[in-house]
Amino acid sequence: NLADFSGKESFTSGLQEAIDALPESGGMVWVPPGIYTLRRHARLRRNVAIRGAGSSSLITRTPEVFSALVSEAQSGDTSVQVESPAAFTVGMEVSVFDTAQHGWYATHAFIMDINGNWLSLDRPIHRPCLLERKGTVAHAFSAFVGWEVSGCELEGLCIDGGNTSGQSLFADFTVSAIHLVRTMDARVTRCIVRHWPADGFSVQGGAGAMVTDCLAEGCLGHGFHPGTSLQHSLWTNNMGRNNGRDGLYFCMYVLHSVVSGNTFYGNGRHGIGGLGDGGDQYNVVANNTCVSNARHGIEASRGQNNTISSNICLNNSQGEPSKYSGIGLIDVTGMTVNANRCLDDQEVRTQAYGIEESGASDQNLIVTNHCRGNLTGSIRTVGADTKQVDNLE
């Protein structure tokens, strides 16, 4: 029971202490109703489940603060010099980055000591961060991190980043609210992420992940983010609404995964984006509803061999009317696009085409789709060997 470990002296409101108290074989941490504030992430372990009571089990974070570096942070350094040390406290987690060193190349560390304007870190700098590239230290971190573990579970938690400004200095996927890396058979069920200053749910690499019955709302990045060679994953019955980027974003070599039965609306880019970009293949995107997103309902780009079936893409291209379509196929081949309903029923229409091929797209199969009522047209193809059959236009 987390209540047995929660205390002001804990940087994770007792979460990490409760996880660490479980036997090596694993177990369950119960998060009773209450508010639990993090200054650093909680690290998941093999066969450990974190379970809460839904919205009443609220995980929050201390506000994001940051400062510019005043001297360069070189690889191997274990301390950094900042302009404004008063923003930081011992024990909090920080990210050290610049305009070139972000994503996997940023450094994430805990502050061990503060001496003048020097912050001592618990691990060395991963890549050099330079003043000319706007080197910065920010109190940016995940709520939960699972790294190369099997059988970890999160269920019935509400994670609120508290970001109401609509901006963050480091809105990077490596500080997503839930960030799982090369895990096996991870389970995330009935969790809510709101207002996180990055992505909501990030699963990078590994296999067998299932993210089901979750809500990502008002995050500055993507709502859901499968990426980095993730295989055999399942994303079902989720909702992504009013996030700053895509409702769900495919990224880099996602294989044999299913995105089905989800609802994505009001997002700042696509409902579902990036499918195919970076080598995603043999994925199925089916039975989703993508409504009133700023760009495409579903975007597939620069890839091949994925299936888009039985989705509803309605009233998209809200950000730039007439520029984006229900389903956008950009430089893709070998796609099967069938039985989708891509429509616009607004008084002032915004969605350009129902389905639109562009660029070097070719050899796609576009069949039995319903695409009436869009602003520019029903279906547009450019590929000489693309097959368009039995569509209602």
**Full-model pTM:** 0.97
DSSP for 326-391, please give it.
SEEEES-BS-EEES-EEE--SSS----EEEEEETT-BS-EEES-B--S-SSEEEE---TT-EEES-
pLDDT at 297: 98
- The first and second tokens of residue 382, run together, are 């450019």
Query: Taking a C-beta distance cutoff of 8 angstroms, is the pair 311, 286 a contact?
Result: yes
Q: What is the pLDDT of residue 38?
A: 97
Long-range contacts of 162-167 (CB under 8 A, 24+ apart): 162/60, 162/61, 162/63, 162/195, 163/64, 163/195, 163/196, 163/197, 163/220, 164/195, 166/220, 166/244, 167/220
Instruction: Provide the Cα torsion 49, 50, 51, 52; round to 10°.
Output: 180
E strand or H helix at 11, and its extent?
none
Q: How far is 257 from 275, CA to CA, in rounded Å?
A: 11
Angle at 242 between CA 241 and CA 247, to 5 degrees: 55
Helix (H) / strand (E) containing 189: strand 187-189
Structure tokens belonging to residue 215: 């809500």
Cα 261 to Cα 43: distance, rounded to the nearest angstrom: 30
**Residue 143 DSSP code:** S
Give the C-alpha separation, 62 to 88, whole Å. 11
* Other Cβ atoms closer than 10 A to 169: 18
- Judged by DSSP in three states, 55 sits in helix
pLDDT computed for residue 179 by the predictor: 98
CB 215 within 8 A of CB 222: no
Distances 341 to 62, 318, 348 between C-alpha atoms, Å: 43, 18, 19
Torsion of CA 379, 382, 387, 392, to 10 degrees: 10
Q: What angle do CA 19, 22, 28 make, to 5 degrees?
A: 70
- H/E segment holding residue 18: helix 15-21
Per-residue pLDDT of the chain (393 residues; tens, 9 = 90+): 999 998 778 999 999 999 999 999 999 999 999 999 999 999 999 999 999 999 999 999 999 999 999 999 999 999 999 999 999 999 999 999 999 999 999 999 999 999 999 999 999 999 999 999 999 999 999 999 999 999 999 999 999 999 878 889 999 999 999 999 999 999 999 999 999 999 999 999 999 999 999 999 999 999 999 999 999 999 999 999 999 999 999 999 999 999 999 999 999 999 999 999 889 999 999 999 999 999 999 999 999 999 999 999 999 999 999 999 999 999 999 999 999 999 999 999 999 999 999 999 999 999 999 999 999 999 999 999 999 999 998
Instruction: Output the pLDDT for position 165.
Output: 84
Pair type for strands 57-61 and 178-181: unpaired
- Token pair 């089916």 is found at 286
